Amino acid sequence: MKNIFGLLIVCVVSLTSCSKFLDEEPQQIAVENFYNTPVEMESGLNAIYETVRYLSTFGGFYTIQHEINTEYMYGRGSFAPMNSYQGLDNTNVGRITDTWNNFYKGVRNANIIIQKAPLANAITEAERTRYIAEARYLRGLYYFHIVRNWSGVPLHTENNLDSINVPKTSAAVIYDLIQQDLVFAENNLPDNPRLVGTPSKWVAKTTLAEVYLTLKKYDLARKASSEVIASRKYSLVNVSVADDFDKIFGPDANNTSEEILYFKYSTKVSGQGYQYLAYLHAPTTIYFPRGGFGTIYADSLNLFMRNWDRADLRYRFTWYPANVGAGATTVLVKKFSDRTATVQQGSNDYPLYRYADLLLFHAEAEASASGAPTADAMEKLNMVRRRAYGKPVGTPDAAVDLKLSDYPTLDAFVRRVVLERGYETAGEGKHWFDLQRLGIWKETIKQIENIDVAEKHMLWPIPPREFNGNTALNPTTDQNPGY
């Protein structure tokens, strides 16, 4: 069984245990009398992670929608309208309403800890700082996902915790808070996490590397990624055949040398399984015996897929052919498979940050900060490629290594890094953010799928429910363009 932590639902007037992993009995506790002891504070911290288990967030739909946005994936059924890249239809707006609500639920639970920890009278100063750092890391992380999907949004912090009517704040201000939260976490989280699946200082540095890349602060991104590499805390998991990647993505993978931060799931606890698998797999398949819906799929003749070297073990591991009524060349994602599943969920974890992500962040940051590709940047890119072909990651290999001379410009090199990251993270819901932050989403979709992407497709609309409940928002001037 995985070493996962239980998550608590913290309400205004009660706290109820929902996991057998915590030795807590359901009880009624007034908020003003809670958040005083280490046990109470850690119960509150665990509640912040509740949001990542929901189907609307990392449990399924959030990843699905970002995968459909890429140049290689398509949606079926009610997700099919997203294939046109013309923004969200009413059904998919309804889904992202739940995503919005649940990310903000996580923000609220983080704000409670940030507000209450300074008042706790039965914890040490070191504990207080550490609890606040973990809460601020998660708040910064959730806002990072919110701002990339919605841009400017209402900014809820510990200072307006009980406010409903909060005006829209610019993306720049949201990013300021994200950086402040993550730098505080970087400086105050421990070297090793409180529990497997919670952040350490190295997790904060990794997240900062991606945030700085997004903001084009390449010197800072390079510094953050370099420090993680220099720590020698992580290494790529070695593979020799395609199935070895199951050591990274399979239901038994836990706390490997490559794991920087994975969100934890388990079917051994009711309601805590990984629902994403049901939407990846075919109704009948050995990779998920309970069967799935085949909601997202790729076409092996799609240009992105066609150009993917079949000798790359990642291709063999990631895809399998299946007939779900979408054409004879349809392939489905088997990266996340659970061959022993007895319910329509898996015990796989979501790999938010792997060492492979960090190496590719560093390759891009190093080249961008230097103004041109460098030997260091190319080496980090080649480390990931060598592993993809089952080669020793630290040994140069002329058969698979890319050469600096083949990428004479910074733009050419960065695009190659992003392509490699597309191969490396297919099915993980990450590639769209790379296309988005580099501003190449329109041209990429046009080149691969010959579709003109609507400008409105880059952002999601602020949900109508938010305008109905938040009188500080103006539905005419505050809604994202095109909605």
DSSP states along 398-437: TTT---GGG--SHHHHHHHHHHHHHHHHTTSS-HHHHHHH
Share of the chain above pLDDT 90, in %: 92
The continuous run of DSSP H or E covering 244 comes out as none
Look at 80 and 32; give whichever has higher pLDDT.
80
Q: Give the pLDDT of residue 97.
A: 96
Pair 333, 259: CB distance under 8 Å: no
The alpha carbon of 69 is separated from its chain's Cα centroid by a whole number of angstroms, namely: 15
pLDDT band at residue 8 under the 50/70/90 scheme: very low
3 state SS of 299: strand
Whether pLDDT at 1 is above 60: no
Tokens 């806002």 found at = 143
Q: pTM (2 decimals)?
A: 0.93
Rounded Cα gap, residues 437 and 184, in angstroms: 24
Q: Give the pLDDT of residue 127.
A: 97
Mean pLDDT for all residues in the chain: 93
Whether pLDDT at 252 is above 50: yes
Rounded Cα gap, residues 71 and 405, in angstroms: 28
Whether pLDDT at 405 is above 90: yes
Taking residues 307-333, report their average pLDDT.
97
Whether pLDDT at 437 is above 70: yes
Whether pLDDT at 11 is above 50: no
Pair 68, 75: CB distance under 8 Å: yes
Whether pLDDT at 13 is above 90: no
- Which residues contact residue 388 at a Cβ distance below 8 angstroms, ignoring those fewer than 6 apart? 312, 313, 314, 400, 423, 424
Look at 346 and 13; give whichever has higher pLDDT.
346
Q: Residues 124-141: pLDDT tens digits?
A: 999 999 999 999 999 999
Q: Residues 448-462: pLDDT tens digits?
A: 999 999 999 999 999
Whether pLDDT at 6 is above 60: no
Q: How many CA atoms lie within 13 A of 194 on its CB side?
A: 19
Q: Specify which of 29-33, 146-150, 271-275 reaches the highest per-range mean pLDDT.
A: 146-150
Q: Give the pLDDT of residue 271.
A: 84
3 state SS of 86: coil
pLDDT band at residue 270 under the 50/70/90 scheme: confident
Look at 30 and 339; give whichever has higher pLDDT.
339
pLDDT band at residue 170 under the 50/70/90 scheme: very high
Neighbours of 379 (CB within 10 A): 17
Share of the chain above pLDDT 70, in %: 93
Q: Give the pLDDT of residue 440.
A: 97
Whether pLDDT at 7 is above 50: no
Pair 83, 68: CB distance under 8 Å: yes
Taking residues 278-285, report their average pLDDT.
98
Q: Which ranges of 319-430 does DSSP label H, i.e. alpha helix? A: 355-370, 375-388, 410-425
Q: Residues 206-231: pLDDT tens digits?
A: 999 999 999 999 999 999 999 999 99
Taking residues 427-432, report their average pLDDT.
98
pLDDT band at residue 12 under the 50/70/90 scheme: very low
pLDDT band at residue 33 under the 50/70/90 scheme: low
Pair 330, 324: CB distance under 8 Å: yes
pLDDT band at residue 256 under the 50/70/90 scheme: very high
Whether pLDDT at 121 is above 60: yes
Pair 81, 89: CB distance under 8 Å: yes
Long-range contact list for 240-248, CB < 8 A, 24+ apart? Answer: 240/390, 241/313, 241/390, 242/313, 242/314, 242/316, 242/317, 243/317, 244/313, 244/390, 245/313, 245/314, 245/317, 245/335, 246/317, 246/337, 248/351, 248/354
Q: Give the pLDDT of residue 19.
A: 32
Strand partners, 331: 298, 321
- For the beta sheet containing 73-75, the strands, ordered from the edge strand earlier in sequence to the opposite edge, are 73-75, 296-299, 330-333, 319-321
> Of the candidates 21, 25, 29, which has an alpha carbon nearest to the alpha carbon of residue 46?
21
